[in-house]
């Protein structure tokens, strides 16, 4: 475990102005399809029009999902040059518009369906991947490194080992970018204190080691019956808000900070107050939360996808209307 001095040191690390009060949107598309599918047919990156829409609405950051296998078709080998160029251009296109970008390898702690730490995907392969990726974006303080989307079916101790090795590799490149570290069990706030795969995240993930002292935890929290975000309802909204509050207490007592990387509600009018409550639960605790990122938007979402807030011809979706009202009433977090 970290000593009290170590925890205090982490809290003393300054949060850069472009990393505070992040109101973000997940811009999906680059994680779509199979790794071998062609660009523009199996997957896409956010269009300039979509980026402009969310900037105009007041979003300050974007979480950008993409596939590890597509960027690095062979473990321990160079990145695919064309795909790396697309990724960099997409990131820089948003950065030039003033957005903070969160890199999101959307792989669930897997590569070609094989778990990190298996014979097929040794931890060292994940370390190699992040060494190469960090080298592409080192020095861009408005680019945040999200280590991995929603690890699951991996013990917290094994995931911690992989995460710490990746962080060490990132720092060896000279990159001091903020790193977002998830837990296992889909990194749910509601499951942070449960031992779904053994020891709870709340115990194990206190041992995250970052030589630069510039990391935060990433958790996700949906509001439906099983907290998966797959159901068109928000029946457990009260439990979800409580989970955020309990997690906030844990962060505060351990001198840590976090980012809510995914949450969402469907279009139903009854769910809109719950969306506002989730945002408030984060923004009223700016001492421990860096911000949030709504799931999701993107040019290729089908119009009937209940959680997405990609604009339609008829105007803003109900969730976007709720968020716009929050932005209008509260210009900054914690106010």
* Residues belonging to the active site: 150, 262
Q: How far is CA 251 from CA 7, 156, 192, 206, 256, in A?
A: 10, 18, 11, 10, 5
> β-strand 114-115 against 110-111: which pairing, if any?
antiparallel
For 20, the 3-state DSSP assignment is: coil
Q: Which residues contact 79 (CB under 8 A, 6 or more apart)?
A: 71, 72, 132, 133, 136
For 269, the 3-state DSSP assignment is: helix
CA distance 157 to 198: 9
Tokens representing 79?
């990145």
CA atoms within 13 A on the CB side of 248: 21
Q: For tokens 């009223």, what's the residue? A: 284
């Amino acid at each position: 475990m970290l000593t009290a001095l170590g925890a205090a040191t982490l809290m003393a690390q300054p949060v850069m102005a472009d990393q505070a009060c992040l109101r973000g949107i997940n811009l999906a598309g680059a994680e779509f399809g199979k790794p071998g599918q062609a660009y523009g047919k199996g997957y896409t990156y956010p269009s300039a029009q979509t980026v402009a829409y969310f900037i105009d609405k007041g979003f300050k950051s974007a979480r950008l999902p993409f596939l590890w296998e597509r960027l690095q078709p062979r473990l321990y080998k160079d990145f695919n040059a064309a795909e790396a160029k697309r990724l960099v251009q997409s990131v820089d296109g948003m950065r030039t518009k003033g957005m903070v970008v969160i890199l999101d390898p959307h792989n669930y702690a897997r590569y070609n369906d094989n778990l990190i730490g298996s014979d097929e995907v040794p931890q060292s392969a994940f370390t190699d991947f992040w060494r190469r990726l960090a080298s592409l974006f080192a020095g861009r303080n408005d680019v945040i490194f999200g280590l991995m989307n929603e690890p699951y079916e991996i013990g917290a101790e094994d995931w911690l080992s992989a995460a710490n090795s990746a962080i060490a590799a990132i720092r060896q490149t000279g990159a001091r970018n903020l790193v977002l570290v998830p837990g296992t069990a889909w990194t749910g706030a509601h499951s942070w204190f449960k031992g779904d795969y053994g020891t709870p995240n709340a115990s194990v993930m206190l041992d995250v080691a970052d030589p630069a002292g510039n990391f935060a935890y990433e958790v996700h929290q949906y509001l439906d019956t099983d907290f998966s975000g797959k159901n068109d309802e928000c029946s457990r909204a009260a439990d979800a808000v409580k989970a955020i509050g309990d997690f906030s207490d844990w962060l505060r007592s351990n001198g840590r900070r976090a980012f809510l990387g995914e949450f969402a509600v469907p279009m139903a009018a009854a769910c809109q107050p719950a969306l506002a409550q989730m945002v408030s639960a984060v923004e009223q605790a700016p001492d421990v939360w860096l911000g949030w990122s709504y799931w999701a938007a993107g040019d290729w979402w089908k119009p009937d996808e209940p959680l997405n807030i990609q604009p339609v011809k008829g105007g803003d979706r109900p969730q976007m209307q709720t968020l716009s009202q929050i932005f209008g009433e509260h210009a900054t977090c914690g106010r």
